[in-house]
Amino acid sequence: MLELEIWRGGAIGRFQTYRIPTREAQTVLDAVSEVQRTEAPTLAYRFACRVGMCGSCAMMVNDRPRWTCRTRVAVAAPDGRLRLAPLRHFPVVKDLVVDMAPFFAKWQRAHGRFEPGPAPATEFATVPPSTPERRAADAGIECINCGVCYAACDVVGWNPDYLGPAALNRAWTLVNDVRDRARAAARLAAVTGPGGCQSCHTHMACTETCPKAIAPTYAIAGLKRQAMRAALAGTR
Amino acid sequence: MNATLFAASRVSALILAVAVAVHLVVIIHAVQQGLTIGAILSRTHGNWAFLVLYGCFVLAAAVHAPIGLRTVLAEWFSWSGPLADWLLLAFGVLLAVLGLRAALAVFLA
């Protein structure tokens, strides 16, 4: 049998224990779904694709943030005990569902959006894969916005103003996107200052836990370098 | 933290890394040679290399420590703002004055 302690309630709540059969190749999301269907019909949790693309099923699994659709129970809970809680640093809506709005608001604060400029491009951009900018952008572009890195980051907990690894990683991909028409200085300004990239302590929890094997720490280091160069050059 | 403070923090750390390494090597050398206080002071008296090294050491520490403390105060105690910044600036000046005074005293001893 698999024993699950699952958070029930909102910001204030408690863990409730459920028991379901252990199954072959069972994922944590499978287990949560089985609990909902057999034991707790009011259990709230979020998922969509079930194949590691949508980034909506992340939660704390035995105190570590994980995407649950691609996490096998056998790996996360070899002793047959799972403790599931909503993602750290997010407001809890209900049970395992969190409010992602503050997370995406920080993406906007970090200018984490492509800016095509005043006139749309008339030709397809040619971006050779071997250029350093393309390589740097490619390294972080597969982010699925799951929030695992944000939940893993201690600095987010200490400094609620901190933009967080995902937003900064997105900003870095755009700094390196040669098609982007945002002024580099404006984007660097958005990720500099209180809560900006310089707040990162390089703990690398984001890089350690990212399910897509992205390294936001290196993206943030890149932003720090560029922001420092800009500061020394007096451009901001 | 703004980019200028970040740059100051990193550059001062770079200086501290060199200064601390030299400091430790010299201490170990002095202890292993069994030098007395008098022998040490005779080497540091009027020694401009000593004064420049420790002057840089002190100034780097005076820059680095308040910037680090500023982050600690903000993250651990949620204390930031103009008052904290002024107090930390005063702390940095205090470190610089005390440190330079000590280095100068050894240089002149």
CATH code at B41?
Answer: 1.20.1300
Indicate the residue of B3, B10, B76 with minimum beta-carbon distance to A158. Answer: B76
Q: What is the mean pLDDT of chain A?
A: 94
pLDDT at A135 over 70: yes
Task: Of A2-11, A116-125, A131-140, A226-235, give the lowest mean pLDDT range.
Answer: A226-235
Average pLDDT over residues A179-207: 89
The number of folded domains in chain B is 1
What is the C-alpha to C-alpha distance for residues A81 and A83, in angstroms, rounded to an integer?
7
Average pLDDT over residues A105-119: 91
Q: Mind listing the pLDDT tens digit for each residue in B56-89?
A: 999 999 999 999 999 999 999 999 999 999 999 9
Residue ranges making up the domain that contains B56: 3-108
pLDDT at A235 over 70: no
Q: Is B10 on the interface with A (CB under 8 A)?
A: yes
Q: Mind listing the pLDDT tens digit for each residue in B35-59?
A: 888 988 999 899 999 999 999 999 9
pLDDT at A62 over 80: yes
Name the pLDDT band for A236 (thresholds 50, 70, 90).
low
Give chain A's contact residues with B (Cβ, < 8 Å).
155, 158-159, 192-194, 196, 198-199, 224, 227-228, 230-232, 236
pLDDT at A229 over 90: no
Claim to verify: residue A105 and residue A77 sit in the same structural domain: no
Task: Of A173-182, A197-206, B54-63, give the lowest mean pLDDT range.
Answer: A173-182
pLDDT of residue A118: 85
What percent of chain A has a predicted confidence (pLDDT) above 70? 99
Claim to verify: residue A12 and residue A114 sit in the same structural domain: no
Domain boundary among A98, A122, A145: A98
Average pLDDT over residues A214-229: 94
Claim to verify: residue A80 and residue A114 sit in the same structural domain: no
- Which are the contacts of B61, defined by CB distance < 8 A and separation ≥ 6? B12, B16, B95, B99
CATH code at A72?
Answer: 3.10.20.30
Report which of A166, A213, A234, A223 is spatially closest to residue A193, judged by C-alpha positions.
A223
Task: Of A86-95, A115-124, B61-70, give the lowest mean pLDDT range.
Answer: A115-124
Local structure of B35: helix, strand or coil = coil
Q: Mind listing the pLDDT tens digit for each residue in B17-34?
A: 999 999 999 999 989 988
The number of folded domains in chain A is 2
Claim to verify: residue A111 and residue A198 sit in the same structural domain: yes
Indicate the residue of A159, A192, A232 with minimum beta-carbon distance to B2. Answer: A192
ipTM entry: 0.75
Residue ranges making up the domain that contains A175: 101-233
Report which of B57, B71, B60 is spatially closest to residue B24, judged by C-alpha positions.
B57
Task: Of A56-65, A159-168, A185-194, B90-99, give the lowest mean pLDDT range.
Answer: A185-194
Chain B residues with CB inside 8 Å of A199's CB? 1, 71
Q: Under an 8 A CB cutoff, do A199 and B4 touch?
A: no
Average pLDDT over residues A8-17: 97
Beta pairing class for A64-67 and A58-61: antiparallel
pLDDT at A183 over 90: no
Indicate the residue of A155, A228, A236 with minimum beta-carbon distance to B6. Answer: A228
Average pLDDT over residues A25-31: 97
